[in-house]
Amino acid sequence: MNYSIFAPSDSRRYLRWAVAAFFFVQGLSFAAWASRIPDIKNMLHLTEGGLGTVLLALPLGLMASLPISGWMVTHYGSKKMVLIGAILYAITLTFIGFVTRTEQLVIALFAFGLWGNLTNIAVNTQAVAVEQVYGKSIMASFHGLWSLAGFVSAMIGSLFISVHVPPHIHFIVIALFAFAIIFTAYKHTMPDTEKEAGEEQPMFVKPDRDLLILGLIGFCAMVCEGAMFDWSGVYFQEAVHVPASLTTLGYVAFMGTMTGGRFAGDWLANRLGRRTMLQLSGTLMGTGLAIAVAFPHLVTATIGFLLVGFGVSSVVPLVYSATGRSKTMSPGMALAAVSSISFIGFLIGPPLIGIVAQFANLRWSFAIVGLLATLTAYLSTKARLID
């Protein structure tokens, strides 16, 4: 579908910033919740094990929504669904702040994951359409704004915690800010075509070979991303043996280059080509982890994690961009299929690290993740939708 009929050259900027605003709202809301997890844990008197079990509700809600989110975006249109999803996402955030029992938190987190994924599929479908209007890679910058919003929201959370603002007030403030952004940006989002809004497709569709390969690329990258999110601090503590004050250095290094890489990723992809960029990303992830594993010292491990962050940064945006060019499925259904495969990697990455470390050590765990990350470079040569 050629979306350029909706966007004269002088209005493309509004389309881009409207979609970017919804990415920002998602990152803002999610990081607000994440910043208050310790407070809610203490408020509900949860143990570490109990908290870990409760936190599973969010990815379970996300996974439960994957099949139906694509169908809803295709059937009702991404413009309508991004509005509904973002509103419900912000409302559910406020509900989390008012929970008084563990079962209430489980239900709220399940809904948070559900609406979060509906918004994710809808806003990425919008992003694919806007990218087609531009005729060049701009997807990574959208995902970069999600990361930037997360950083801003984490800083706001730290401020509220320091002045003893309770979670429910914090979440209400964020939700009100989110509503202001949502209703300002919505009128500028990409309109749905008559074919897409109301298009009849079965709810469950088997992805073709091209989408499966994209899903596998996303899977490998998200195994690496999930492992870095959950285990980078532990790696610096137990493998690099840094002082307690420096255990977060690896995570900060990874997040810094991942965020920066997303803003630079479009520029590089447009100059190097999307396929070359994916191959470079896979090589950087594998090389970075190899350095951190082979030389587990403060400087070398930090350099390794910097490379991993930059490598990870553009993979999912490039995969989602290519997914939107599928000729066999609508963008919403294709994104839901590829997201499903990719997100499994995000879920199994952290447990994989723990299981391998139990039988060997953390360096072996990260070495295996590095091999999977390097596989991204090979799979990108087989992906016909990349260019």
Q: What is the DSSP string of 162-204?
A: HTT--HHHHHHHHHHHHHHHHHHHGGGSPPPPTTTTT----S-
Statement to judge: residues 149 and 62 lie in one domain = yes
Residues 184 and 233 both lie in one domain: no
Do 174 and 298 reside in the same domain of the chain? no
Nearest CA to 214 out of 313, 335, 327 is that of: 335
pLDDT, tens digit (0-9, with 9 covering 90-100), for 362-384: 899 899 999 999 999 999 988 88
Q: In sequence order, what are the residues at sequence separation of 6 or more whose Cβ sits closer than 8 angstroms to the Cβ of residue 182?
A: 21, 22, 25, 83, 86, 87, 90
My answer on whether 244 and 160 are in the same domain is: no
Sign of CA dihedral 108, 32, 129, 140: negative
Q: Which of 162-166, 193-197, 375-379 comes out lowest in average pLDDT?
A: 193-197
Report the pLDDT value the prediction gives residue 139, as an integer from 0 to 100: 87
Distance CA 155, CA 150 (A): 9
Asked if 374 and 233 sit in the same domain, the reply is: yes
114 contacts 91 by C-beta, under 8 angstroms: no
CATH of the domain at 293: 1.20.1250.20
| Radius of gyration of the chain from its Cα atoms, rounded to whole angstroms | 20
Q: Please report, to the nearest 10 degrees, the dihedral formed by the alpha carbons of residues 63, 67, 71, 74 taken in order.
A: 60
Looking at residue 366, its pLDDT comes to: 92
pLDDT, tens only, 63-90: 888 778 888 988 899 999 999 999 999 9
Domain for residue 66, yes or no?
A: yes
Structural domain boundaries, residue 326: 209-380
Residue 193 vs residue 73, higher pLDDT: 73
Same domain, 13 and 111: yes
33 and 155 assigned to the same domain:
yes
Compare 38 and 199 and report the one with higher pLDDT. 38
Same domain, 178 and 61: yes
Using alpha carbons only, give the angle 113, 215, 383 rounded to the nearest 5 degrees: 150
Q: Domain boundary residue among 157, 188, 219?
A: 188
Q: How many structural domains are present in the chain?
A: 2
Residue 300 has pLDDT above 50, yes or no: yes
Residue 5 has pLDDT above 90, yes or no: no
Residue 218 has pLDDT above 60, yes or no: yes
* Position 7 confidence tier, pLDDT thresholds 50, 70, 90: very low
- Is 67 contained in some domain? yes
pLDDT-based confidence at 210, cuts 50/70/90? confident
Query: Best-predicted range by mean pLDDT among 9-23, 95-109, 220-234, 335-349?
Result: 95-109
Does any domain span residue 196?
no
Residue 118 resides in a domain: yes
Q: List the single range of 91-95, 330-334, 359-363 with lowest mean pLDDT.
A: 330-334
One domain for residues 153 and 235: no
Judgement on whether residues 161 and 216 belong to the same structural domain of the protein: no
> Which is nearest to 145 in space by CA: 59, 24, 26, 15?
24
Is the pLDDT confidence value at 195 over 60? no
Picking from 128, 157, 188, the residue at the C-terminal end of a domain is 188
Residue 387 lies in a domain: no
Query: How much is the pLDDT for 151?
Result: 81
Residue 202 placed within a domain: no
Q: Are residues 133 and 250 in the same domain?
A: no
- Share the mean pLDDT of the chain: 87
Residue 173's pLDDT is 97
Structure letter (DSSP) for residue 243: -
Is position 199 within any domain? no
Residue 269 falls inside a structural domain = yes
Same domain, yes or no, for 183 and 214?
Answer: no
Q: How many percent of the chain have pLDDT more than 70?
A: 93
pLDDT at 204: 55
